[in-house]
Amino acid sequence: MKKPTQDMRQHIIDVAKALMTHKGYTAVGLMEVLKAAGVPKGSFYHYFRSKEEFGQALLEEYFQEYIGRVDVVMAAQGTGAERLLGYLRYWAKTQAFDHPEEKCLVVKLGAEVCDLSEDMRGVLEEGTALIIQRIKRCVQQGMADGSITSTQDAETLAESLYQLWLGASLLVKVRNTTAAFDTALMTSERLLA
C-alpha cells in the first residue's frame, strides 16, 4: 500500500537526515537519498519543489525535534543554573561520538548551507534563536533564584554560552576528542558564577 504524501515526505526527510548528518548537504545527492528511502527516481519533485526547499524542510524538522528535546531537558527540577548546566551536559553527551543519530545539524551543515541558500540560512538563524531564547530563560530564572550571579545581562550571557558550545562542538569534530566539551563546561560554570 502506498504511503500518503505527508508520510512519504517525512520518510524522505528522516532518511536524508541520517545521511547528511554523516556526509553533509552537498555530498549527498538526491539520487542517494531517494535510493536509501526506496522512493522512485522521478518522484522527488512530487514531495519537494527543489533541493533547497527540501533542505529547508530538513532543517525545520531538525529544529522542531531538537527544541522539543531541549524543552524536556530544561524542564527538570532544580535552580536555573542546575537546569542550564544539565542542558549543557546533555549537549556534550549527545554531540559526542556515541550518538550519531542526535548530532547537531547546525554544526554539521551551518557553514555549508549558509553559503548556498538564504532561505536555509534563515531557518538556521530562526532555529538557533529559539535555542538561545531557552538558554536565556534559564539564565533569567537562575538570576532570579540566585543560582547565577554573573554580572552580564541574560541575553549576552545566553548568546555567549551558545557560541562557546557551538565552537566546542566544532573542535570536538576537528580534534576527534571530547576534551573541548570539558573545557566548555568549566568555562560555562565560571560564566554563570
Cβ–Cβ under 8 Å, residues 87 and 138? yes
Cβ–Cβ under 8 Å, residues 23 and 58? no
CATH number at residue 80: 1.10.357.10
Q: What is the pLDDT of residues 60-112, one digit of tens each?
A: 999 999 999 999 999 999 999 999 999 999 999 988 766 556 677 787 788 88
Would you say residue 112 lies in a domain?
yes
Q: What is the pLDDT of residue 51?
A: 87
Would you say residue 164 lies in a domain?
yes
Q: pLDDT band at residue 165, thresholds of 50, 70 and 90?
A: very high
The total number of residues written for the chain in this structure = 193
Would you say residue 6 lies in a domain?
no
Would you say residue 98 lies in a domain?
yes
Q: What is the pLDDT of residues 112-148, one digit of tens each?
A: 888 889 999 999 999 999 999 999 999 999 999 999 9
Q: What is the pLDDT of residue 101?
A: 63
Would you say residue 42 lies in a domain?
no
Would you say residue 9 lies in a domain?
no
Host H or E run for residue 171: helix 154-175
Tally of domains within the chain: 1
Does the pTM of the predicted model rise above 0.85? yes
Judge whether residue 181 has pLDDT over 70: yes
Would you say residue 8 lies in a domain?
no
Cα separation, 126 vs 21, whole angstroms: 20
